[in-house]
Amino acid sequence: MEKFPTTNKKLIEWVNKMAKLCSPERIVWIDGSGGQKLSLERESVDSGELIRLNQEKLPGCFLHRTAHDDVSRTEHLTFICTKKKGDAGPNNNWMRPFTAYKKAREIFRGSMKGRTMYVIPFSMGPVGSPFSKIGVELTDSRYVVLNMLIMTRCGQAVLRQMERDDDFTRCLHSKAQLDINKRLILHFPEDNTIWSVGSGYGGNVLLGKKCLSLRIASFVARKEKWLAEHMLIMGIEEPNGHVEYIAAAFPSACGKTNLAMLVPPEGLKKKGYRIWTVGDDISWMRVDSDGSLWAINPETGFFGVAPGTNSKTNPNMVETIKKDTIYTNVLLKPDNTVWWEGADGEVPAQGIDWKGNPWKPHARDAEDMVIKGAHANARFTAPIMNCPSASFRLEQHHGVPISAIVFGGRRQHVAPLVYESFNWQHGVFAGATMGSELTAAQVGKLGQVRRDPMAMLPFCGYNMADYFRHWLAMGRLMAKPPKIFHVNWFMADDQGKFLWPGFCENLRILEWILDRCNNKVNAMQTPIGYLPYPFDIDMTGLNLSAGALEKLLKVDKEEWLAELKGINKFFGGFRKDLPKELWDEYNALLGRLKKYVQ
Catalog residues that contact ligand OXD under the rule CB under 6 A. Answer: 203, 252, 281
Which of ligand OXD, Mn ion, none is residue 121 near (CB under 5 to 8 Å by kind)? none
In this structure, are residues 411 and 488 in contact, taking their beta carbons and an 8 Å threshold?
A: yes
22 is catalytic: no
Q: Are 457 and 464 in contact (CB under 8 A)?
A: yes
How large is the C-alpha radius of gyration of the chain? 24
- Element of type H or E holding 186: strand 184-188
What is the contact mask toward Mn ion in residues 220 to 239, using x (rule: CB under 5 A)? --------------------
Q: Which is nearer to ligand OXD, 203 or 315 (CB)?
A: 203
| Residue nearest Mn ion, CB atom distance | 281
Q: How far is the CB of 47 from Mn ion (least distance, A)?
A: 30
Are β-strands 232-237 and 338-339 bridged in parallel, bridged antiparallel, or unpaired? unpaired
* Nearest residue to ligand OXD on Cβ basis: 252
Mapping DSSP to helix (H, G, I), strand (E, B) and coil, where does residue 136 land? Answer: strand
State the Cα–Cα distance between residues 296 and 281, nearest whole angstrom.
11
- The rounded distance, in Å, linking the Cα atoms of 545 and 592 is 31
Work out how close the CB of 299 gets to ligand OXD at its nearest, in angstroms, rounded to a whole number. 10
Give the single-character DSSP code of 377. T
Cβ proximity to ligand OXD, 177 vs 252, nearer residue: 252
Task: Give the largest Cα separation in the chain, rounded.
Answer: 78
Q: Output the smallest distance, CB 251 to ligand OXD, in A.
A: 8
Q: How many CB atoms lie within 10 A of CB 279?
A: 28
Interface size with Mn ion, residues (CB under 5 A): 1
- Write down the least CB distance from residue 303 to ligand OXD, Å: 6
DSSP 8-state symbol, 218: H
Residue 515 CB neighbour total at 10 angstroms: 18
Cα–Cα distance, 317 to 188 (Å, whole number): 35
Element spanning 360, H or E: none
* Closer CB to Mn ion, 182 or 379, in the complex: 379
- Are the C-beta atoms of residues 377 and 329 closer than 8 Å to each other? yes
Nearer CB in complex with ligand OXD: 22/405: 405
Looking at the Cβ atoms of 219 and 380, the one nearer to ligand OXD is 380
Helix (H) or strand (E) holding 492: none
- For residue 232, what are the CA distances in angstroms to 210, 217, 298? 14, 16, 11
Query: Catalytic residue among 81, 154, 211, 254, which?
Result: 254
- The nearest distance, CB 484 to ligand OXD, in angstroms, is 21
Alpha helices in 135-265 (DSSP H): 142-151, 156-164, 202-205, 217-224, 256-260
State the minimum distance, in angstroms, from the CB of residue 27 to Mn ion: 32
Asked if residue 79 lies in contact with residue 186, where contact means CB atoms within 8 angstroms, the answer is: yes
Residue 140 sits in the site that holds Mn ion (CB under 5 A):
no
The letter for the amino acid at 540 is T
Beta carbon of residue 282, minimum distance to ligand OXD (angstroms, whole number) = 8
Whichever of 260 and 262 has its CB closer to Mn ion, that residue is 260
Task: Name the binder of 203 from ligand OXD, Mn ion, none, CB < 5-8 A by kind.
Answer: ligand OXD
Q: How far apart are CA 441 and CA 148, in angstroms?
A: 29
Nearer to ligand OXD, 22 or 455 (CB): 455
Q: Which of residues 265-284 bind Mn ion (CB under 5 A)?
A: 281
Q: Which partner from the list Mn ion, ligand OXD, none does 452 bind, CB cut-off 5 to 8 Å by kind?
A: none
- Residues that bind Mn ion in the complex, under the rule CB under 5 A: 281
- Annotated catalytic residues are 254
